[in-house]
Amino acid sequence: IRVQSPEGVKRITATKRETVATFLKKVAKEFGFRNNGFSVYTNRNRTGEITAAQNKSLNLLKIKHGDMLFLYPSSPAGSSSSSETMDTSVSQNSRPGGAPQVVEDEIDQYLIKQDGKIYRNRDQQLCRHGPLGKCVHCVPLEPFDEDYLNHLEPPVKHMSFHAYIRKLTGGADKGKFVALENISCKIKSGCEGHPPWPEGICTKCQPSAITLNRQKYRHVDNIMFENHTIADRFLDFWRKTGNQHLGYLYGRYTEHKDIPLGIRAEVAAIYEPPQIGTQNSLEILEDPKAEVVDEIAAKLGLRKVGWIFTDLVSEDTRKGTVRYSRNKDTYFLSAEECITAGNFQNQQPNICRLSPDGHFGSKFVTVVATGGPDNQVHFEGYQVSNQCMALVRDECLLPCRDAPELGYAKESSSEQYVPDVFYKDIDKFGNEITQLARPLPVEYLIIDITTTFPKDPVYTFSISQNPFPIENRDVLGETQDFHSLATYLSQNTSSIFLDIISDFHLLLFLVTNEVMPLRDSISLLLEAVRTKNEELAQTWKKSEQWATIEQLCSTVGVPLPGLQEYGAMGGSSHAVAAAMWPCQHCTFMNQPGTDHCEMCSLPRS
């Protein structure tokens, strides 16, 4: 049932047997009314009022599918009291007309407030006006101007997402009725005119066919690694084993000033989850520490912005070259990689005030470390389109076993209805034809993103010549334990404690180790690292937790510099730590005065 109000038109899903009272509750919820501060009529001239006191079904009132009803607030439209009957909890980021309340990312809130226009200087040859005048040759351009984007070096094929929003909201109505709808490939529920699928389906509940188009915008316009060390340490795994590897990118979203209203994903660290890698495959294992990693990253001012994987084959070990395998003659992303990227993007939706669902698309990026035209390692960035995200979310897309560059749209079965998926192609006569996506070239699903390194490196975390081992690299013999921690501390003798402790992988170890996890007592240290505050770091260093950590390191036989000097500052903490005893079977540190291990229950001796 369509309901028209001063805020716009909304559709309310209802059944024929539904009572008026139930229907009016749905209307109040959809339009954000807290109480009965509105009236609903069957006619625009406010006749034929529908009230809950009628106690009838919609069918008896002759209200049927597609009918239009008219809602008027109790107070006159435009008066101040009209707004008071509405839900006052709707924030500035909410869509007018009752869309869900959302809080967009900081970068989105910042770009919304920017002018975004492309200002041009006065053309000495074409402009015939004074210095204060403007003409078609020098008037500012809109951020979505395609001619300007195509003449950039290199040309930009996709406008930024916020430029696309400006295009939608730039008309006379200022985008009052703009809504970014998420594509759905599923049958709409609640249709009672026929038996459920596969016995029946109708045009009301059947999802629309999908014609794949090149997406005109992208949610992220640039990927930048803060420094080369981040990427080099990640590539070390492939250099040492020859096996492919995968990691999650942690960083932040910032403004990308090379493109109007652009967004950049800055990568500050790479977390490597449990996985099984071979020379030509990768399997991601379940990660019990995933939630903790996200929590620690958030306290450091970071978030998961993407994932990275290698596809490298050595060509000449003497020259250090790699094979150039991903190009226009093969593929840039395989169908299986597109499906994986789509799955990750669905897990990390982009909060959007213009979407009725509160989210639209994703800022999650994909980076491939592969061979380039010069046979050196290149980093290529991608996203998959919103259409691909919908196909993956609703389980409509499959990879082809023998052709990695081709996907396959599933066919409908008794368990699942799949809408038809088409794409447009050019036949041998030069005519545009529409093809069924069985199979489907995956280039219709891919959006490329430039991946760069800055001229002046940035360091969120400190860089050491003897860095702390990276997690989940046991296959290389690189383990995270108190022996490796003691070795790291003994090799890094900087007088600035913040420089020693500002290592992403070290901080994760301090929080996730099984002997003495510091999840509940490390917030002060994380705040010190985030704000680069040495005084805060020194305050945390004087805590009992760090004293215990140092004592645990001393039990593995690696002498720590400055331990005796620090013992004079926190002697009581060291006395407690010294009284603790390590279990010979499981290395768990037990409290003093106990005869059996608290972890494995075996005797102390």
Q: What is the pLDDT of residues 450-488, one digit of tens each?
A: 999 999 999 999 988 889 999 999 999 899 998 899 999
| Alpha-carbon distance values, 205 to 67, 188, 194 (Å) | 17, 5, 10
Confidence of residue 424 (pLDDT cuts 50, 70, 90): confident
Cis amide prior to 603 (ω within 30 degrees): no
What are the backbone angles phi and psi of residue 275, rounded to the nearest 5°? -160, 165
Confidence of residue 94 (pLDDT cuts 50, 70, 90): very low
| Alpha-carbon distance values, 258 to 221, 380, 448 (Å) | 9, 18, 16
> Residue 86: what pLDDT?
38
Evaluated on CA atoms 599, 600, 604, 605, the torsion sign reads negative
pLDDT tens-digit map of 525-543: 999 999 999 999 999 998 8
* CB under 8 A, 24+ apart: contacts of 554-558: 554/486, 555/482, 555/582, 556/482, 556/483, 556/486, 558/483, 558/486, 558/487, 558/490
pLDDT tens-digit map of 501-512: 999 999 999 999
Q: Is 314 helix (H, G, I), strand (E, B) or coil?
A: strand
| Alpha-carbon distance values, 50 to 5, 6, 19, 38, 47 (Å) | 15, 18, 11, 11, 9
Encoded tokens for 170: 């730039």
Domains of the chain: 2-73 (3.10.20.90), 217-395+441-452 (3.40.140.10), 474-556 (no CATH)
On average, the pLDDT of the chain sits at 85
Confidence of residue 605 (pLDDT cuts 50, 70, 90): low
Contact status, residue 305 vs residue 249, Cβ threshold 8 Å: yes
Q: What is the DSSP string of 215-250?
A: -SEES--EEEES-HHHHHHHHHHHHHH----EEEEE
Between 102 and 286, the more confident residue is: 286
Confidence of residue 580 (pLDDT cuts 50, 70, 90): low
Amino acid identity, position 394: D
Encoded tokens for 112: 């919304």
Evaluated on CA atoms 387, 392, 398, 399, the torsion sign reads positive
> Residue 561: what pLDDT?
58
Residue that the structure tokens 């505050």 belong to: 533
Counting Cα atoms < 13 Å in the Cβ hemisphere of 113 gives: 8
> Residue 92: what pLDDT?
39
Q: Tell me how far apart the alpha carbons of residues 208 and 419 are, in angstroms, rounded to a whole number.
A: 7
Contact status, residue 212 vs residue 445, Cβ threshold 8 Å: yes
Confidence of residue 100 (pLDDT cuts 50, 70, 90): low
pTM of the model: 0.77
Terminal alpha carbon distance of the chain: 77
> Residue 419: what pLDDT?
92
Amino acid identity, position 404: P
Dihedral of CA atoms 274, 278, 280, 282 in degrees, nearest 10, equals -10
The set of residues, in sequence order, having a beta carbon less than 8 Å from that of 128 and lying 6+ positions away, is: 135
Most confident of 46-55, 93-102, 370-379: 370-379
> Residue 464: what pLDDT?
85
pLDDT tens-digit map of 205-247: 889 999 998 899 999 999 999 999 999 999 999 999 999 999 9
> Residue 589: what pLDDT?
62
Which residue intervals of 473-513 are DSSP H helices? 482-491, 497-501, 504-512
Nearest CA among 566, 590, 596, 588 for reference residue 578: 590
For residues 532-559, average pLDDT: 85
Contact status, residue 248 vs residue 267, Cβ threshold 8 Å: no
* CB under 8 A, 24+ apart: contacts of 313-318: 313/279, 313/371, 314/242, 315/371, 315/375, 316/375
> Residue 213: what pLDDT?
87
Residue that the structure tokens 């929590």 belong to: 295
Contact status, residue 332 vs residue 273, Cβ threshold 8 Å: no
> Residue 588: what pLDDT?
62
Residue 124: pLDDT above 80? yes
For residues 418-446, average pLDDT: 89
Helix axes 482-491, 544-554, angle to 10 degrees: 100
> Residue 442: what pLDDT?
92
Strands in 27-107 per DSSP E: 38-41, 49-50, 68-73
